[in-house]
Structure 1
Amino acid sequence: MTVTVFPRTERGRLTAVYGSLLLLAGGGLVALVYVLLGQGLYASVSGVVSTVSPALRAGERVDVDPGRSAEPARTRAPGEQPSPEQLKSYALTRNLSDAVTEATQHRLLVVSLIALAVFAVLSIWLAWWMAGRVLRPVAVITGTARRLSGENLDERIALDAPPGELKQLADTFDAMLGRMEHLVSAQRRFAANAAHELRTPLAVQRAAAEIGLAGDPSPERVATIRAKLIGVADSSEHLIESLLLLAVSEEGLESTERVDLAALAAAELAACPQPGLTVERTLAPLTVTGDRTLLGHLVRNLLTNAVRHNRAGGRLALTTSAEGELTVSNTGPVIEPADVPRLLEPFRRRAERQHTAGEGAGLGLSIVASIARAHGAELTARANPAPDGGLTVRGRFPAVQVRPDSRRQGGVQPR
């Protein structure tokens, strides 16, 4: 069995690292002081002791070097030998200096080791406390993440700390929670709205079959109920196709090709009914890379939405630019700017649904937004001011520029 000695928690690891570094620094400091003091201690002690020796009282100078012989150096005549009393005094001085030096070094070592032990305990405690302070935001983030579920995504860390890496981490986590809450709410709302939209035509079909065909209905009544059922079935089929298209666009693009978006927009505009509307078209050359079918749905949904929510004698404008922009603008009811972002969500309408003929399911602009995301396009929508009203939707695509020398060969160059 393998025994792990190293701490298993980040706080324990930080404590071990900080404590080891502090102990290493303290031990190095003690060793340095001991070595440096030991090198000059003997000379200092010898000088002090020699000042009270009998030899110096007679005016003699003693110069003792621990690395040399104990024979003293003094000022005397050439060839003069020290007397026995002088040698005895020098030996006594040397022995006394050695004893004092050894005792001082021993005392210094004992005191230093005791101080280092106290310093070790204090440093480990400080390292443990400091590691806890540093890692407190991480503990808060971990606790919040453990408490999170689909029911309390509105909870935030809201870390109260000075600016730094951990503060940035907590703020990033809060931003991620906000996006998750928005996505989960949108998913729940989408599921509820889809169930409601699919349940309504089923209820109408059931009521028509049970009530309209009860008893012995006349041929005229049967024809009316038949037309009603066919209309409801067509509406349900359109809704299901829209949901499938939305799902496909959310999955991304499986294959791409170069698409002349200006020509595609012109074809969709020609196929779109424009009853009593003034149409303005400015179609500059625009080539993009993407799925032709999905791009056709994008333009078709924009035009259908612009026609459906227009007013009698209103205006519809379709524009493409070489900068990669596709713009559809229409007149119509005045829309509050705060309500515009909601119109890009599934099953969101400016007004409550009346379940009348030709009324959409509220998926048109959400499909447009999904297809634009799949193509890397930036989609923006803004409400037109009164009195014209209506909506302007602009998609900015990563355009593909056609080089002049390659037009005949169909070559293109990404912008």
Structure 2
Amino acid sequence: MVKLRGGTVRRRFTILYATGYLVSGVVLLSLTYLMSGTQVTTRAPEQIPTGPSTLPAAQQRIRDLEGQLSAVHAQQDHQLVVGSLIALVVTAGLSLLLGHLLAGRVLRPLRLITAATRRITAESLDQRLAVAGPADEVKELADTVDGLLERLEASFVAQRRFVGNASHELRTPLATMRASLDVAVAKPEPAAQTLALAGRLRTELDRVDRLLDGFLVLARAEHQHGEALTDRTLLSLGELAEQALTARAADITARTLTVDSAIRPDAWTHGSAVLLSRMVQNLLDNAIVHNQQGGWIRISTARDATGARLVVESGGRLLDQDEVDRLGRPFERLGAARTGSEESTGLGLSIVAAIVTAHGGRLSLRARREGGLSVTAALPAATGPRG
């Protein structure tokens, strides 16, 4: 994987630039050394106007001068080589620094594109890179990414619109079917088979109705991703949890579940009352439906520096964390034990995940070491009415 920020590409550019400079410097130094090694020939005077007694002394003097001249040339060559090597080392270091700066300058547009692309998610596909500058390869890459984001946004919007419209339109034939069943059952002395069939059909219609309701809530929550919630208000997660427990008291009693609540009233947040109420209800329903007879549920709310939190835990069998991580997706379930209930649509936790994301929060699903599931919905905290 190519890493742009201080990573592989910049390092490669720096090394290539410095290596090219170093090779050029070595070639130049070699040529300088070869040219400086040219021998200087000396020529003795054609006629030395001296007598026989001074000739040996003159010849010795000439040899001494030639030796001194050779020593000077050798010293000059040595100084030239040493100086060239020092200059080569210094300039090589400077070339590394200059190459690093030039590589950073060249890669700066790519780093900006990478950072902007990382900020764009499925919830913010309306953002664009909009890179300005000359029509070069970097501009072409940015425009290509913008085109891809535009196509993805159109696809996501069309998908959410279709789910919402289809779920809404299917309510009409469902209502017609339910009315037809009521008419058939309301006839004088209906047959026993008619009553049994009507009961089964009404149960299935209720399941389809819950499924469509889940689709509508999921479509609305996903539509709010990256957009402002129009019905945002100050809410207490503790009050929503109390309301959900009261509404599901009959279901809890029917399964003889023990409820341990640690609900605090100061877990305030801003959000949609409809969506957040549905979030709490779905978490509690998930703990009730996918629990063992005579099991337990622990529900708590809290507020700290990280935000307002709602935690719902339930007992049960040991779960695989890899499978639990997928429960936030639509229609994901854990084995036959979690699909046996006729009340399960497979959308409960995916709706919760969409609602939490729409409110700028974070959903955590964790398989308990002792068995069962722990779900934490963390939302941005808000100041309550009493500060």
- TM-score with structure 2 length normalisation? 0.49
Larger radius of gyration: 1
Of structures 1 and 2, the one scoring higher in RCO (CA 8 A, sep 6+) is 2
